[in-house]
Structure 1
Amino acid sequence: MVKLSVNINKIATLRNARGQHARPDLLQAARDIERFGAQGITVHPRPDERHIRYQDVLDLKALVTTELNVEGNPTPDFLDLVRQVRPEQVTLVPDAPDALTSNAGWDVMGQQEYLRGIVAELKGLGCRVSIFLDPDPALVPAAASTGTDRIELYTEAYARGYLADREAAVAPYRAAAARAGKLGLGVNAGHDLDLDNLAFLKQQLPELAEVSIGHALVCDALYLGLENTVQLYKRQLK
């Protein structure tokens, strides 16, 4: 079964909307999401702390019992945080400081040496490393050369094209995942995955190990309830 890691950024966004208000309780939400069956918790702290705060990551490390996946651009502040927390997985994402959300994978050819040094340090801390990557099979060997353990395929294009032609939408992802598998890389996926498009992606990518889902899952939970929603997403991954 493909693992479901739930991104709780949107829960933090709701909390932060009331300043220092503590509702909803982010830590309790993480506990409950694990209790409801998720196999991981994902957070993506950004420099302005507009949703996940750096202190949240420290607090979550003390209570997450599955896997903590910390995403972000490896700035000095981010790397300092990771050195303190040593999460089970670090997903490197090339976000600009003012990015609304992740919107591109790494230029693994142009930034190979830069990434190689960061990957080596993170693996030395005991973290599994994943690199956010556009679904281009030609990029996969360059990603592998950085020493990363996994790639995370950026699935916005798949989600956008799914309703019009799901076979065409998934084709580059299938090719990139197959290339990764041949090179010994694990494959994660994330961005705009939901209850409509998730099962097909899972069926088409036998190499898929983990998905990270936040926005759609939290939106669905408003109507369906958090426990039921986690179970529905897990069912798509069986």
Structure 2
Amino acid sequence: MTRLSVNINKIATLRNARGGNNPDVIKAALDCERFGAQGITVHPRPDERHIRYKDVIDLKKVVTTEFNIEGYPDERYLKLIREVKPAQATLVPDPPDAITSNAGWDTIKNASLLKEIISEIKAYGVRVSIFVDPLPLTVEGAAKVGADRIELYTEPYASEFKLKKEIAIKPYIESAKVARESGLGINAGHDLDLNNLRFLKLNIPYLDEVSIGHALICDALYFGLENTIQLYLKELH
């Protein structure tokens, strides 16, 4: 079964735009779980432009599905992981001012850094996933530094899917095969939506988890949050 983890950053963005607590991020997370989501993902950035650090602490108290915290592994992020101990820590190579994640780790060049950080996080009993491009060598590198899973960066797939989906999926199939042979679990995320999700799942049937935020929240404006989550779950089964 491929789990659906809902990234609730965009709900926090809407709240922060007006101030106050509407929409309520904590309630939204609980509702996502109640509507069938099997995980909640957040990506707290240093400027707290969407998810705030307090949100992460508060979410830990109530989330009963898998809690996934994404972020660049600086000292602030590591402190949060140490305090919260989520089910999964997803390491991304974003600089602090990045609007969104737009590339995966070079696991060869950053092997020493990643190995040290992963060892620390795993000591807290937290599963570690590394955000990577669909490159077999990079996937092998993720296994060598001790990651439990990779998260395949799917923006290139989503872009090329509109033109030639058979070509778009090829590097992901190859990378997923290498991951599986290396003993890594496989997650995927970025620009996945109701148009391209099923094809990804059909071609990588052993996909463990997808993390979806932007497209899902956009769809919820039209279909409602409960119905939207059910639509995404349907694409995964």
What is the TM-score when the length of structure 2 is the normalising length? 0.99
Q: Which runs of 5+ in 2 are unaligned?
A: none
Give the superposition deviation at 1:137.
1.1
Q: Distance between the aligned counterparts of 1:80 and 1:129, measured in 2?
A: 15
CA offsets, 1:29-59, max 9 Å, x none? 0000000000000000000000000000000
CA offsets, 1:50-88, max 9 Å, x none? 000000000000000001000000011111111100000
Give the match for residue 10 of structure 1.
10
Give the match for residue 41 of structure 2.
42
Q: Distance between the aligned counterparts of 1:59 and 1:185, measured in 2?
A: 30
Q: Distance between the aligned counterparts of 2:203 and 2:56, measured in 1?
A: 33
Contact 1:67–1:87 (CA under 8 A) maintained in structure 2:
yes
Give the superposition deviation at 1:206.
2.3
State the secondary structure of the residue aligned to 1:131: strand
State the superposition RMSD in angstroms: 0.5
Give the match for residue 131 of structure 2.
132
Contact 2:2–2:206 (CA under 8 A) maintained in structure 1:
no
State the secondary structure of the residue aligned to 2:208: strand
Letter in 2 for 1:232: L
Q: Which runs of 5+ in 1 are unaligned?
A: none
Give the match for residue 167 of structure 1.
166
State the secondary structure of the residue aligned to 2:80: helix
State the secondary structure of the residue aligned to 2:125: coil
Q: Distance between the aligned counterparts of 2:38 and 2:80, measured in 1?
A: 23
2:146 paired with 1:147: yes
Letter in 1 for 2:135: D
Q: Distance between the aligned counterparts of 2:141 and 2:197, measured in 1?
A: 27
Give the superposition deviation at 1:207.
2.7
Give the match for residue 59 of structure 1.
58
Q: Distance between the aligned counterparts of 2:79 and 2:23, measured in 1?
A: 27
Q: Distance between the aligned counterparts of 2:124 and 2:14, measured in 1?
A: 32
Aligned-residue identity in percent:
63
Letter in 1 for 2:15: R
Q: Distance between the aligned counterparts of 1:169 and 1:232, measured in 2?
A: 23
2:120 paired with 1:121: yes
Q: Distance between the aligned counterparts of 2:129 and 2:159, measured in 1?
A: 23
Contact 1:43–1:70 (CA under 8 A) maintained in structure 2:
yes
Q: Distance between the aligned counterparts of 2:175 and 2:149, measured in 1?
A: 12
CA offsets, 1:199-236, max 9 Å, x none? 00000012310000000000000000000000000000
State the secondary structure of the residue aligned to 1:203: helix
Letter in 2 for 1:3: R
CA offsets, 1:128-170, max 9 Å, x none? 1000000011211111011000000000000000011000000
Q: Distance between the aligned counterparts of 1:56 and 1:126, measured in 2?
A: 21
Letter in 2 for 1:35: R
Q: Distance between the aligned counterparts of 1:224 and 1:110, measured in 2?
A: 44
State the secondary structure of the residue aligned to 2:98: coil
The ranges of structure 1 where at least 4 consecutive aligned residues each deviate by more than 2 angstroms after the TM superposition are: none
Letter in 2 for 1:207: Y
Q: Distance between the aligned counterparts of 2:217 and 2:140, measured in 1?
A: 35
Contact 1:43–1:71 (CA under 8 A) maintained in structure 2:
yes
Contact 2:5–2:40 (CA under 8 A) maintained in structure 1:
yes
Q: Distance between the aligned counterparts of 1:136 and 1:77, measured in 2?
A: 29
